[in-house]
Structure 1
Amino acid sequence: MISTDGTKWVGEFRENKRWNIREYDNNGNLTTEWVNGVEQTGIKWKTFGNEKVQPKYEGEIKNGKMDGLGVLTYPYDGKSIVGEWKNGKEWNTKHTKKDGTLLGKSENGDWIVSWGVLDYFDES
């Protein structure tokens, strides 16, 4: 079965549920796998909408969420978030620009520090 965005599901459905299925994005990358109706963990690609502008995650996934080591990359500016994720949230990560400049980081789920320029607009 293929969706309008190019996502492709190959395998067995039972009662309209993914049973023994492999899901591929429109570039042919394996994104998710289900065995006996249970989503598997492991290294996978996960995209969030239009991959030309939305981030793309490559790393460990558990229960459909980023969990473990992984990299979230933003295609429009090359910024990336690298490190450890827990239950879909940043845990111990570093934010960097495409050239490697450190923008900020998180430790144990808390945002620690951010470097950069703050743009401020005053309508008065």
Structure 2
Amino acid sequence: GHGTHTYSDGAKYEGEFKDGQPQGQGIFAKPDGTKYVGEFKDGKFCGQGTHTYSDGAKYEGEFKDGQPQGQGTIIFAEGGKYVGEFKEFKPWNAIEYDKDGNIIGRCINGEMK
């Protein structure tokens, strides 16, 4: 079903539930401004989503087991970004751009080039 749950640390989830866990589409927000909007599976971020961090950075793309995993883009607060494949929140095969859109680096199999 659909509902809202507030956690003891002040975090709040609003969306679909299955067996008492977030499942399906939902929004998870923490008091520090961290927010995730997207798909959940077994209470974890899983599938397509957008995670905005308290420092202003934002990841848009695929998640697995609560971590950015798969194709996505992370945009930093100052405007730079990584675009490509991520594994456990780390760029795996990605291109790094500065705030003006210039390529400033490449990550191949987890190593910056």
Q: TM-score, normalised on structure 1?
A: 0.65
Report the counterpart of residue 90 of structure 2 in structure 1: 89
1:65-109 superposed Cα distances (whole Å, 9 cap, x missing partner): 11111000113x111111111232211111111211122111011
Where do 1:58-97 residues align within 5 Å?
Answer: 58-75=60-77, 77-97=78-98
Runs of 4+ in structure 1 deviating by more than 6 angstroms, as ranges, are: none
One-letter code aligned to 2:51: K
> Would the aligned equivalents of 1:9 and 1:21 in 2 still touch at CA under 8 Å?
no
Report the counterpart of residue 102 of structure 1 in structure 2: 103
Number of aligned residues: 103
Report the counterpart of residue 33 of structure 1 in structure 2: 40
Identity %: 25
Report the CA distance shift for 1:20/1:61 in structure 2 as closer, same or farther (over 3 A): closer
Q: Distance in 2 between matches of 1:74 and 1:101?
A: 15
Out of 31, 37, 52, which is 1:47 matched to? 52
Q: Distance in 2 between matches of 1:91 and 1:20?
A: 27
Report the counterpart of residue 21 of structure 2 in structure 1: 18
> Would the aligned equivalents of 2:15 and 2:22 in 1 still touch at CA under 8 Å?
no
Q: Distance in 2 between matches of 1:79 and 1:24?
A: 26
Question: 5+ unaligned residues in a row in structure 2: which ranges?
Answer: 30-34
> Would the aligned equivalents of 1:67 and 1:88 in 2 still touch at CA under 8 Å?
yes
> Would the aligned equivalents of 2:59 and 2:75 in 1 still touch at CA under 8 Å?
yes
> Which structure dedicates a bigger proportion of its chain to strand?
2
CA-based RMSD? 2.9
Structure (1 or 2) with the larger CA radius of gyration: 1
Q: Distance in 2 between matches of 1:68 and 1:56?
A: 15
Report the CA distance shift for 1:74/1:42 in structure 2 as closer, same or farther (over 3 A): same
